[in-house]
Structure 1
């Protein structure tokens, strides 16, 4: 489908997709400085998108990213959006703000990139386990609340929704019967991370199933193993714990922290750019999973992260946790 591979950089893909980037409106969640979201924003800025909307709970950090974008292309419009994915009240406020953008009738690409990784047990404002609540439920609610900016009734505008996931989805299916780990009594940070990453992938499957007829394309993507702030809080004990879990699950890729094959940030965001703008991302691959700037064959990732029945069950659970139904 493409000649891209593990070594491909975001700049490589962006140069191929320059025409597709130009004039587009992109919204990115979690693009704090030194994050993959920020790297994606600055990489595509070279090719003059019309607007980049930066969404995060810490808006002061977003100003730095906005300044970097302006330094690359001063004519790009940037917008700062306060979005705390651990609070559904904040999510609703942010969505209302986006929906009130009179000068932005349509958002071409939504990149759900914000997330947490293997944090201690906590809950969102609504009592949802924090990783599941922030990584999935928060994005589920936000995406659906701004759906009017992403689709058109006649299906002529083909927006894309990218859900950033991880090979860590292999650690756990979605625990439909006990997503909260009995309010932390049986909590494991890595199983919780895996659950949330599987949910990210199933969310793309569900969006594709429900909204392809209105032009929406949604894919999930694994950027690769990369040193970012996402994992900066993890000590040796956390990685040793992951190794033990991986051994018990028969996942050799995780059993040695030193053995992981790390990418640079530029290599990591290549798949972001590919998913957001490459011409090969069509309805024919809607709902699929991307790695190394390639569309993966389904056998290349866990069945629990692509099963349409699980995707439908997750949608219903997410509606329950968000307290709102979204019927398309």
Structure 2
């Protein structure tokens, strides 16, 4: 049996702590108050839930909780209502791995005539490093749930987003985008024959970044839309609850070593507390000073710097972004021309 030569990996709390969602919410309360915010991936214990628990303190008008599991969405709603009974909570059933289910969810949102606009859309939901599977629509599960579902939902409810006076879309990506560009000719990993769970995750996170860039390019100047992608950092949430960190994280580092990234040989990694982990969510969704950087990738509450190796060119290329847009239209079976 092969044994990895990589020393045991340790995760340590970041010291000293830096940005926190709670402090950013206090400083941006005026930008949050009265807003209608739709967030995907809101199960308790996840980044979406932590984001909502932070913003509800600033009294948004409506929080729309979009999740696949109704029971988990109801649990998240109960926790939020315990924080504030003055904010309306609405639940939206959404299975991002099914294009038909996404269309149903979008029709529901468009049918809410008492909600004429959505100010902030946070595409937060995702899966990470799961076993190979193909959705009912025929697409690899990371690419389907993390990208195609969000691509379709966002475009189908775009009229409501653009009805906002200051529309903004946030895509939760990851520094894991370094693990793979878009595999335009083989996004399904040759029916699993060449599947690597971390490369599949990386491809989907690259897609999140390219989609934000496309939205900013297509609708920024025309319709005043701001769109950003972000890296929340390493946060211990339920996203990785199915993984054995000692084994599965090392398999991620194997990809890093193959690519020649220095982090592939690291043994100690800093993690963020949940309050720190969703700080960049708050920054991306409400900061007023980043409009000039529309379409950018944000990390640790600042614009990602490609010269540090934190941002990879395949995830910031306008050419790659347009190629992905056209591929996504083909795969969901609908064109969106702006």
Q: TM-score, normalised by structure 1?
A: 0.95
Matched, 1:68 2:76: no
Please point out which of 216, 220, 223 is paired with 2:229.
Answer: 220
Q: Render the CA deviation track for 1:15-62: whole Å, top value 9, x for unaligned.
A: 110000000000000010010100000101111000000001101111
Per the alignment, residue 182 of structure 1 pairs with 190
**Contact between 2:253 and 2:263, CA under 8 Å: does it hold in 1?**
no
Matches within 5 A, 1:113-152: 113-152=124-163
Per the alignment, residue 316 of structure 1 pairs with 326
Q: TM-score, normalised by structure 2?
A: 0.92
Matches within 5 A, 1:192-211: 192-211=200-219
Structure 1 stretches of 4+ with a deviation exceeding 6 A read none
Per the alignment, residue 80 of structure 1 pairs with 91
Shift of 1:252: 2.4
C-alpha change, 1:255 and 1:120, in structure 2 (3 Å) is farther
Please point out which of 301, 314, 337 is paired with 1:327.
Answer: 337
Matched, 1:304 2:314: yes
**Contact between 1:253 and 1:260, CA under 8 Å: does it hold in 2?**
no
Per the alignment, residue 23 of structure 1 pairs with 34
Please point out which of 14, 32, 37 is paired with 2:48.
Answer: 37
Shift of 1:6: 6.3
Q: Give unpaired runs (5+ residues) of structure 2.
A: 1-15
**Contact between 1:129 and 1:179, CA under 8 Å: does it hold in 2?**
yes
State the alpha-carbon separation in 2 of the partners of residues 129 and 177 from structure 1: 13
Q: Render the CA deviation track for 1:46-96: whole Å, top value 9, x for unaligned.
A: 110000000011011111111121111111000000000010110000000
State the alpha-carbon separation in 1 of the partners of residues 17 and 279 from structure 2: 9
**Contact between 2:256 and 2:264, CA under 8 Å: does it hold in 1?**
yes
State the alpha-carbon separation in 2 of the partners of residues 286 and 20 from structure 1: 18
Per the alignment, residue 256 of structure 2 pairs with 246
Per the alignment, residue 12 of structure 2 pairs with none
Q: Give unpaired runs (5+ residues) of structure 1.
A: none
Shift of 1:125: 1.5
